[in-house]
Amino acid sequence: MNRERSCAERMIAVLYFFAVVSAAGCGDKSSALTDAELDRIAITEKIQLVEKAGGLVLVVGGETITSDEVIEASADRYEEGKTVADLLKPMAQNTSIEEFKEQASIPIKDIVMGRISGILLYQHAKREIGDGANEGLDKLAEKELRKFALRYGGDEAKADEALAEQGLDREGFKEEHKKLIITQSYLGSKLPYKKPVTYSELAEYYEAHKDELFYSLGLLKFRLIDIDMSKIEITDLEENRAEKARRKGEELSKRARDGEDFVKLVEEYSDGHRRDSGGLWPEVQPDSLARPYVVLAEAAEDMKPGEIAGPLETVGHIFVMKLEAKQAAGYQPLEEVQGEVNNRILWERRNEAITRLNAKLIREAEIGNTDEFVDFCAGKIYKMSTEPAEVEKQKTEEPGA
């Protein structure tokens, strides 16, 4: 029980930043080798290229990586919302196959190496954690399955359909999450959580990143009564529109300061285009206000939220403003953002440790034959992109290739 509790605590502590490499691939499962075939291969952490059903697969620690899995993988790090096949299709349609393979090998190999490192990490993690946490893992995986169903309003049938589209059923989903949790737990035991961040590290990081992370733009939020001088009605030719607008502005300013409902005053007296929304403007940067509204930014400099300014005269207008919110431009002090800076430093430490760990695992594995698999995937994408009808025919005739 103590071991289970310790594992669970580490699982909860580790952020889900490694989910992409350890659980992203849910492609075609039909190319997986049979148990008997895997037993004959007898691989531990070595990588082997195997021909299966007319195609090639990589076998890593008893798990297979199929070409379909790679082709259908997310290419978000290159272009958001696209698969590897989507990303490379335009290139395939405009180059020879030799040029295409040379250029496409980089993103394809990136995906393949990510899959390999995820499997190797899982193999290491599984041996270290052992079977002591199985009960806890089952509970956590079941919880993740319930959360998945909630995305579909708790409709289990719809959730099952969504899983089926990913090539999974409920048990498959839970197994994928068990692998993810085990891997995260292993990473939690390897990454430098315990070493505290010193104040000098905090200060150095803050100074290096304060412009991009901790500078706040000035912001204003206000309600406005806009008296348009051109709309002031006069009954006497000797009456002055500007003077009448000033008197109206003085009267409305006094009524607002005396506590009358500002929204009602806007709705009754404002000529502005935001009259129907109570004169409320969205947050704006003071420097972004152009004529005739620049006077509002000038007035707001000495105001506090809730105060009334006006009448403010500018070209053709008299304004009465109620300041709703205000944020001065400037840097957030280190004391206010110290917790965020601390977390960012820890995050970067974790990422660096993961990068080193991945590199170590890849170096230890025999990866020379991955180039042939990458070439096979590239050739398949090229054919899909340039001969779609032929590929559809082959898929029907040779499922799982």
Q: What are the structural domain ranges in the chain?
A: 2-197+344-397, 215-330
**127 vs 382, which has greater pLDDT?**
382
Triad 231, 232, 233: Cα angle to 5°: 110
Beta-bridge partner residues of 57: 50, 66
Mean pLDDT of 380-395: 70
Within its chain, how far is the Cα of 175 from the centroid?
A: 25
Hunting for tokens 């002591």 — which residue is that? 132
Mean of pLDDT over the chain: 78
Mean pLDDT of 230-250: 84
Q: Is the pLDDT of residue 215 over 80?
A: yes
Q: Does domain 215-330 have CATH number 3.10.50.40?
A: yes
**157 vs 353, which has greater pLDDT?**
157
The string of pLDDT tens digits covering residues 330-367 is: 898 999 999 999 989 888 887 787 777 767 766 665 55
What does the pLDDT read at residue 162?
Answer: 87
What does the pLDDT read at residue 226?
Answer: 93
Instruction: Give one DSSP letter per residue of 279-347, joined into a string.
Output: TBPPPB-GGGPPTTTHHHHHHHTT--TT-EEEEEEETTEEEEEEEEEEE--EEPPHHHHHHHHHHHHHH
What does the pLDDT read at residue 369?
Answer: 66
What does the pLDDT read at residue 129?
Answer: 67
**272 vs 53, which has greater pLDDT?**
272
**186 vs 140, which has greater pLDDT?**
140
Range with the poorest average pLDDT among 13-17, 71-75, 100-104, 304-308: 13-17
**192 vs 143, which has greater pLDDT?**
143
**Cβ neighbours of residue 235 under 8 Å, at least 6 residues apart?**
none
Query: What confidence tier does 46 reach under pLDDT thresholds 50, 70, 90?
Result: low
What does the pLDDT read at residue 133?
Answer: 61
Q: How far apart are CA 330 and CA 218, in angstroms?
A: 8
Element (H, E) at 50: strand 47-52
